[in-house]
Structure formats: C-alpha cells, structure tokens
Structure 1
Amino acid sequence: MADTSVTSYKVWDVPVRLFHWINFLSVLTLIAFGLVIYNGGALGLSNEGKALMKTLHVWAGYVFAVNLAIRLVWAFMGNAHARWSAILPGGRGYGAALRAYIRGDGTAWLGHNPLGRLAVTAMLLALIGQAVTGLVLAGTDIYYPPFGGMIAEWIAADGVDPSSLVPYGPKELLDAAAYQDMRAFRKPYIEVHEWLFFTLLGLITLHIAAVVMAEIRHGGTLVSAMFTGRKHYDRTPEDKAEGALAPSFDLGAS
C-alpha cells in the first residue's frame, strides 16, 4: 500500500500573513473608492463628494503604503520563505525549475513556486508603483502628506497662506499659472496610477485563479496556510532542505 501520510510544514511567519490580509483589505478598499472617483462624473458626485472620496482613498492608501513598506523591509529579515531570495526569480537552476513546473512535473513547493515568483514580483512592482504615484497624487489632489505642503506652497497665490488651501476651494486662492504647471506635473502620475490600477485588477484575478489551480493540482492547503502559516503535503517539497527551509537552487548565483 502506498504511503499516504501527510506532513505539516511551517512556512509563512506572522508578519507575512499580516501583510497579506492587510494588503488584501486595503487594496479592496482602494479599488472601491477608486472606482467611485474614476466614475465620479457618471455618478453625479459633487465637489464635496469627490473631496470626501479622495480623502478616504488617501487614508486607505496610507495603510496600504505603510504595510507594503514593512513587507519590503521584512524581506531582509523574515524566515527563508519571506526573504528576497525566495521571492525574486532568477539564479542558477531557476529556468529548469520553471520549465519543469510549467510542464506539470508534480513538484510541491513550500514557498512560492517558480512561476509564482514571476507573478509575485510583477505584483510587488505594481504595488510599489501605486504607492509612489498615490502619495504624489495625495499631495496634488487634497494637499495631504508627504508632498501636500510643497504642492500648496507651489500653487498658492501671493499673500495666501498655503495651509488654507482646500480641495475644490476658491480659485482666487490659487496662482493660475502655477496651478496649470502643477496640473501638467500631475498628469503622468495620474496616468500611471490609472494604468497600474487596471493592471492590478488583472494581476489579482490571475493570482486568485493561480491559487485555485495550484490548490487543485498540488494540494498543500495554500489558502489556509495564509491563516495558519502551515502547509501540508504527502510528499517532500522541493524547497525543503534538511534542518532548514531554503530554496533547492542557488538564487544568489550569477
């Protein structure tokens, strides 16, 4: 009779799991507010309504950005599966592992599988881009930190206290030429922010589909592992080294 015993492995540490769920909730909230702002004209939002939606969007963005920053730092400090070496694709043996995984060799992985590393890297880049452009837009739209003070000083009319500027406030408080320059400065940031918004929607959809497919194909309790931190396999995972959790191929090699 075949051995059907299942082994439980500790994989995701607490900071990684907290990041995942805080990121999930904050991104979901940002998508909801973002869609309302994006369709504000069709929804008939007043200027006060737009300002409120943008304010809520920015506060959710702060949670998102701080959470992301903590995760990026934790990639230098966490367990083996939380670190950059287990996230970024590349290194000696990676190409072969990727091809084998795509062919469906049945290999189990504790951390991100070779294909998953590509997806996670793409998602992290998109999230970083959203955080950076969002912080700039928080300053240009509603004069919020970290750049809002500088933006307000830039566009305030002579003799006007920059701290008195409010979103959709009286135009008499603004220097018309400086305001137009600011809008031109803002334009590429809003375009990138919008494109990344739709890119993230696509990546999130692919992520969910990939998790479902990997769960069916390999098992390992991927979803529950983000709650418990543990995966369960009836075979030895590829990235389970004796006495340590480490990739089986050298990601640090040239």
Structure 2
Amino acid sequence: MTERLLDAGDRAGARSPEAAPGRTRVWDPVVRLFHWTLVLGVVANLTVFRELKSVHRYVGYVIVAAIAIRLVWGLVGPRHARFSDFVAGPRRLAGYLVAMARGREPRYVGHNPAGGLMMVALIGLSLSCGVTGWMMGLDAFWGAPWLEAIHETAANTIMVLAILHVLAALVESWRHRENLVMSMVTGWKRAASGTDVDHASPPR
C-alpha cells in the first residue's frame, strides 16, 4: 500500500511543473492530506462549528482518525514523514533556537527542529481535545468541570500555537526565499545545497 501511494505521488510529480531540476519531493500525499485535514478541522471547530455540538463532535472524530493515521505514517512512511527525521533532541533543538535567535539558522529540507516541536505539540493538543471531547459525551464524565477545563485549555492553546506556526512559516519563507505554504500543497521544495540540512545528504 505504501509503495502504491508513493508511486502515485511520483507519477503526479513527474507531470508537475514543480518537478524541475533543483527541486525535490519532500511531502508525500499522506502528509499533505493530514496537514490540511488538521488545519481545516481545527479552524472549523474553533470557529463556525464551536457551538454546533453534533457537527463539532464528528469533525473531532475525523481529526482523531487523521492523527492515528499520521502516527502510524510517522513510523512506516517515507523519510521526511518519519518522526525520526524531524523530532530533535534537546541539544539539537537548543542549538537551532540559538542560531535562529541570531538569524543564522540553516535551511532544512524537511521540518526544522522548531517546526518538528510545533508539529508534535499540535498533534498532542489536538489529540487531547479529541479524547476529552469524547469523554465529555460519556455518562461517567457528564458535566465534569475539570474535563471541560482541559478541553477548553487545549483548544485555546492550539489557537495560539497555530497563529505562531503561521507567522513562523511566513518568516521562514521570507528568510529562505521559499514558499513553505505552497510546498505543503505541491509536496515539492528546493533541493539541498550549500549549508542546507537534509538528513539524506552526506555529511559536509
């Protein structure tokens, strides 16, 4: 199944104007579909569906299902989809944040360490919202104020982090001269060169 998805993505990419010399496919169809499902689902549930309880609930189920698929894909998917590619340890994360504060952070072909941390945080908070939302519908937890507080806190935190994520993507797009939003639509990015970091590249 994995090979079929990747082959389909390769065939689509071969016909795309993005598939040009100096470009490389980074985000596969599963990663892109998950990203936009999470974006649209979270935005919808935090705005137009916030008070429409029945719709809000089912959108939450879709988000949780998408997260479950993404967690599995993070273990068996292609290289840039795997958690091992972008979940950084404390030392690498600290080094990147220091470099970023100095305006000297390297360009990553996949997720940079800060982006990886943001992704893990958003997945965790979204999963927390989904689980607590489901629990709030059970008789055993009906009307439990602590559960509602966790759900609301997680939702509000997602909103704040999502805004920071968008701002960071815009800043990084400007700094590295690359449209990161469009890359999550097409799957293609500029290939690694110079000081760019790509874990598939030999050490420089």
C-alpha distance in structure 2 between counterparts of 1:86 and 1:238, whole Å: 11
Q: What TM-score results when the alignment is normalised by the length of structure 1?
A: 0.65
Unaligned runs of 5+ in 2: 1-20
SS for the counterpart of 1:81 is helix
Deviations 1:37-62 (A, max 9, x none): 2xxxxxxxxxxxxxxx2111111111
Cα separation, partners in 2 of 1:63 and 1:234, compared to 1, 3 Å: closer
Following superposition, the deviation at residue 242 of structure 1 comes to 3.4
Other-structure match for 1:79:
78
Q: Is the 8 A contact 2:41 2:60 kept in 1?
A: yes
What's 1:163 paired with? none
In 1, the alpha carbon distance for the partners of 2:90 and 2:167 equals 27
Work out whether residues 219 and 233 of structure 1, in 8 Å CA contact, stay in contact via their aligned partners in 2: no
* Alignment pair present for 1:213 and 2:177: no
For residues 106-160 of structure 1, give each alpha carbon's deviation from its aligned partner in whole angstroms, at most 9, with x where no partner exists. 52111111222222222122112112111212x23xxxxxxxxxx3xx6xxxxxx
Matched, 1:226 2:184: yes
Aligned-partner SS, 1:241: coil
Quick one: percent identity of the two aligned structures? 34
The two structures, once aligned, show a CA RMSD in angstroms of 2.3
CA distance, structure 2, for counterparts of residue 118 and residue 240 of structure 1: 17
For the 8 Å contact 1:11–1:229, the answer to whether it is kept is: yes
1:92: how far off? 6.0
What is the rounded CA distance, in whole Å, between the counterparts of 1:205 and 1:242 in structure 2? 32
Kindly tell me: are residues 233 and 222 of structure 1, through their superposed partners in 2, closer, same or farther at Cα, counting changes over 3 Å? Answer: same
1:70-109 equivalent positions in 2, closer than 5 A: 70-90=69-89, 93-109=92-108
The separation in 1 between residues aligned to 2:173 and 2:113, in whole angstroms, is 15
Which ranges of 4 or more aligned residues in structure 1 deviate by more than 4 Å?
Answer: 91-94
Partner Cα distance (2:164, 2:121) in 1: 11
- Structure 1: state its 5+ residue gaps: 1-5, 38-52, 141-150, 155-181, 249-254
Q: How far apart are residue 234 of structure 1 and its match?
A: 7.8
Distance 2:154 2:105 in 1: 34
Q: How much has 1:94 moved relative to structure 2?
A: 4.4
* Equivalent AA in structure 2 for residue 121 of structure 1: V
SS in 2 for 1:12: coil
**1:46-95 CA deviation, whole Å, 9 max, x = no partner?**
xxxxxxx2111111111111111111111001111111112322066443
Which secondary structure state, in structure 2, belongs to the residue aligned with residue 239 of structure 1? coil
